[in-house]
Amino acid sequence: MATNSVLQKYGTQLLFADHATDFGAAPATAANSLIIGSPTDVQMNLSVLANAAMWQSDKTATLADTGTAWPIEWVFGACMEGAATPAAGTTYDFYWNASPSATAGNGNSGGCSGADGAYTAAGTAQLIFIGSLVCVANVINIDADIGRIWLPHLYGSLVIDNNSGVAMVDTTADQIHFTMTPIIPDVQAAA
Protein backbone atom coordinates (compact mmCIF):
# COMPACT_ATOMS: atom_id res chain seq x y z
CA MET A 1 0.00 0.00 0.00
CA ALA A 2 1.40 3.36 -1.00
CA THR A 3 1.31 6.17 1.54
CA ASN A 4 1.54 9.91 1.26
CA SER A 5 4.39 11.84 2.85
CA VAL A 6 3.81 15.09 4.69
CA LEU A 7 6.81 17.38 4.35
CA GLN A 8 7.04 21.10 5.02
CA LYS A 9 7.87 24.17 2.99
CA TYR A 10 8.49 27.81 3.78
CA GLY A 11 6.00 30.56 3.08
CA THR A 12 6.89 34.25 2.76
CA GLN A 13 8.82 35.49 5.80
CA LEU A 14 8.04 38.59 7.80
CA LEU A 15 11.19 40.69 8.25
CA PHE A 16 11.16 43.10 11.21
CA ALA A 17 13.95 45.72 10.99
CA ASP A 18 14.60 49.45 10.71
CA HIS A 19 13.80 49.60 7.00
CA ALA A 20 13.16 53.36 7.22
CA THR A 21 16.71 54.26 8.25
CA ASP A 22 19.50 51.73 8.79
CA PHE A 23 18.68 48.23 7.62
CA GLY A 24 17.86 48.27 3.93
CA ALA A 25 17.03 44.87 2.40
CA ALA A 26 19.48 42.70 4.35
CA PRO A 27 22.06 42.91 7.15
CA ALA A 28 25.37 44.57 6.27
CA THR A 29 27.18 41.32 7.12
CA ALA A 30 25.73 38.49 5.04
CA ALA A 31 26.81 35.86 7.59
CA ASN A 32 24.32 37.41 10.06
CA SER A 33 21.30 37.05 7.77
CA LEU A 34 18.26 34.99 8.75
CA ILE A 35 16.44 35.95 5.54
CA ILE A 36 14.92 33.33 3.23
CA GLY A 37 13.72 34.47 -0.20
CA SER A 38 11.93 37.81 -0.55
CA PRO A 39 10.31 38.65 2.80
CA THR A 40 7.55 41.10 3.66
CA ASP A 41 9.07 44.11 5.47
CA VAL A 42 7.71 45.33 8.82
CA GLN A 43 9.12 48.52 10.39
CA MET A 44 10.81 48.18 13.81
CA ASN A 45 13.56 50.62 14.84
CA LEU A 46 15.51 49.22 17.78
CA SER A 47 18.43 51.66 17.59
CA VAL A 48 16.92 53.59 20.52
CA LEU A 49 16.09 50.58 22.73
CA ALA A 50 17.70 50.95 26.15
CA ASN A 51 18.42 48.14 28.58
CA ALA A 52 15.37 47.16 30.67
CA ALA A 53 13.04 48.79 28.11
CA MET A 54 10.51 47.43 25.64
CA TRP A 55 9.69 48.20 22.01
CA GLN A 56 6.93 47.27 19.56
CA SER A 57 6.83 47.02 15.78
CA ASP A 58 4.35 48.39 13.30
CA LYS A 59 1.37 46.10 12.83
CA THR A 60 1.82 43.61 10.00
CA ALA A 61 -0.08 43.69 6.77
CA THR A 62 -2.33 40.67 6.29
CA LEU A 63 -0.65 37.31 6.90
CA ALA A 64 -2.96 35.61 4.40
CA ASP A 65 -1.43 33.62 1.57
CA THR A 66 -4.71 33.56 -0.35
CA GLY A 67 -7.99 35.21 0.56
CA THR A 68 -8.31 34.94 4.32
CA ALA A 69 -6.33 31.71 4.79
CA TRP A 70 -2.96 32.04 6.52
CA PRO A 71 -0.22 29.73 7.77
CA ILE A 72 -0.78 28.72 11.39
CA GLU A 73 2.76 27.80 12.50
CA TRP A 74 5.69 30.22 12.27
CA VAL A 75 9.33 29.96 13.40
CA PHE A 76 10.81 33.06 15.03
CA GLY A 77 14.48 34.04 14.67
CA ALA A 78 16.51 37.07 15.77
CA CYS A 79 19.83 38.80 15.14
CA MET A 80 20.57 41.34 17.89
CA GLU A 81 23.42 43.86 18.07
CA GLY A 82 24.19 45.54 21.38
CA ALA A 83 26.08 48.78 21.93
CA ALA A 84 28.37 46.68 24.16
CA THR A 85 28.83 42.99 24.91
CA PRO A 86 26.02 41.54 27.03
CA ALA A 87 26.82 39.11 29.83
CA ALA A 88 26.28 35.45 28.98
CA GLY A 89 22.86 34.24 30.14
CA THR A 90 21.05 37.58 29.82
CA THR A 91 18.07 37.65 27.49
CA TYR A 92 16.01 39.40 24.88
CA ASP A 93 12.40 38.29 25.36
CA PHE A 94 9.86 38.29 22.51
CA TYR A 95 6.06 38.55 22.49
CA TRP A 96 3.34 38.67 19.83
CA ASN A 97 0.37 41.04 19.83
CA ALA A 98 -2.30 39.09 17.96
CA SER A 99 -4.95 41.29 16.36
CA PRO A 100 -8.07 40.69 14.26
CA SER A 101 -7.88 44.25 12.86
CA ALA A 102 -5.75 45.70 10.05
CA THR A 103 -6.00 49.17 11.62
CA ALA A 104 -2.91 50.05 13.69
CA GLY A 105 -4.77 51.30 16.77
CA ASN A 106 -7.60 48.74 16.80
CA GLY A 107 -7.96 45.26 18.27
CA ASN A 108 -4.54 45.14 19.94
CA SER A 109 -3.71 42.99 22.95
CA GLY A 110 -1.78 44.11 26.02
CA GLY A 111 -2.05 47.82 25.30
CA CYS A 112 -0.04 47.70 22.06
CA SER A 113 -0.42 50.67 19.72
CA GLY A 114 0.24 48.87 16.44
CA ALA A 115 2.92 51.48 15.64
CA ASP A 116 6.73 51.30 15.75
CA GLY A 117 7.68 52.77 19.14
CA ALA A 118 8.26 52.28 22.83
CA TYR A 119 6.02 49.76 24.59
CA THR A 120 5.17 51.01 28.07
CA ALA A 121 1.80 49.37 28.75
CA ALA A 122 3.16 46.59 31.01
CA GLY A 123 0.60 44.25 29.43
CA THR A 124 2.80 41.30 28.45
CA ALA A 125 0.48 38.92 30.34
CA GLN A 126 -2.03 39.57 27.53
CA LEU A 127 0.50 38.93 24.75
CA ILE A 128 1.67 35.60 23.30
CA PHE A 129 5.14 34.73 24.59
CA ILE A 130 7.32 33.55 21.69
CA GLY A 131 10.58 32.83 23.50
CA SER A 132 13.91 34.27 24.61
CA LEU A 133 17.22 34.75 22.87
CA VAL A 134 19.72 33.77 25.58
CA CYS A 135 22.88 35.80 25.04
CA VAL A 136 26.44 34.61 24.81
CA ALA A 137 29.19 37.14 25.46
CA ASN A 138 29.19 38.60 21.92
CA VAL A 139 28.08 42.00 20.64
CA ILE A 140 26.00 40.19 17.99
CA ASN A 141 23.76 37.33 19.15
CA ILE A 142 21.85 35.18 16.65
CA ASP A 143 19.29 32.42 17.18
CA ALA A 144 17.38 31.17 14.14
CA ASP A 145 14.85 29.15 16.19
CA ILE A 146 13.89 31.06 19.34
CA GLY A 147 10.42 29.62 19.32
CA ARG A 148 7.42 28.53 17.34
CA ILE A 149 4.24 30.52 17.34
CA TRP A 150 0.73 29.64 16.22
CA LEU A 151 -1.04 32.78 15.02
CA PRO A 152 -4.74 33.10 15.89
CA HIS A 153 -5.39 36.23 13.79
CA LEU A 154 -4.47 37.74 10.41
CA TYR A 155 -2.57 40.71 11.92
CA GLY A 156 -0.21 41.49 14.76
CA SER A 157 2.94 43.14 15.97
CA LEU A 158 6.17 42.10 17.64
CA VAL A 159 7.17 43.23 21.14
CA ILE A 160 10.69 42.89 22.56
CA ASP A 161 11.80 43.18 26.19
CA ASN A 162 15.51 44.01 26.45
CA ASN A 163 16.92 42.21 29.50
CA SER A 164 20.44 41.94 28.07
CA GLY A 165 22.07 44.49 30.38
CA VAL A 166 23.09 46.66 27.41
CA ALA A 167 21.38 49.12 25.09
CA MET A 168 21.00 48.30 21.41
CA VAL A 169 23.54 49.76 19.00
CA ASP A 170 22.40 53.34 18.41
CA THR A 171 24.26 54.12 15.20
CA THR A 172 23.93 52.11 12.01
CA ALA A 173 21.63 49.37 13.29
CA ASP A 174 22.23 47.45 10.07
CA GLN A 175 22.47 43.97 11.63
CA ILE A 176 19.38 43.93 13.89
CA HIS A 177 16.51 41.98 12.37
CA PHE A 178 13.88 39.42 13.24
CA THR A 179 12.22 36.88 11.01
CA MET A 180 8.98 35.00 11.29
CA THR A 181 8.98 32.13 8.82
CA PRO A 182 5.74 30.30 8.07
CA ILE A 183 6.02 26.52 8.05
CA ILE A 184 3.44 25.08 5.67
CA PRO A 185 2.56 21.37 5.45
CA ASP A 186 3.18 19.98 1.97
CA VAL A 187 1.43 16.67 1.26
CA GLN A 188 3.37 14.60 -1.27
CA ALA A 189 1.49 12.13 -3.42
CA ALA A 190 2.15 8.44 -2.82
CA ALA A 191 4.98 7.05 -4.88
Domains in the chain, please, with CATH?
10-28+39-185 (2.60.120)
pLDDT by residue for the chain (191 residues), tens only, comes to 678 888 899 999 999 999 988 888 888 899 999 999 999 999 999 888 999 999 999 999 888 766 678 888 999 999 999 999 999 999 999 999 999 999 999 999 999 999 999 999 889 999 999 999 999 999 999 999 999 999 999 999 999 999 999 999 877 778 999 999 999 988 888 76
The C-alpha torsion from 37 through 41 and 45 to 47, rounded to 10°, is 20
- Find, among 131, 104, 110, 113, the residue nearest to 122 by Cα: 110
State the pTM of this model. 0.93
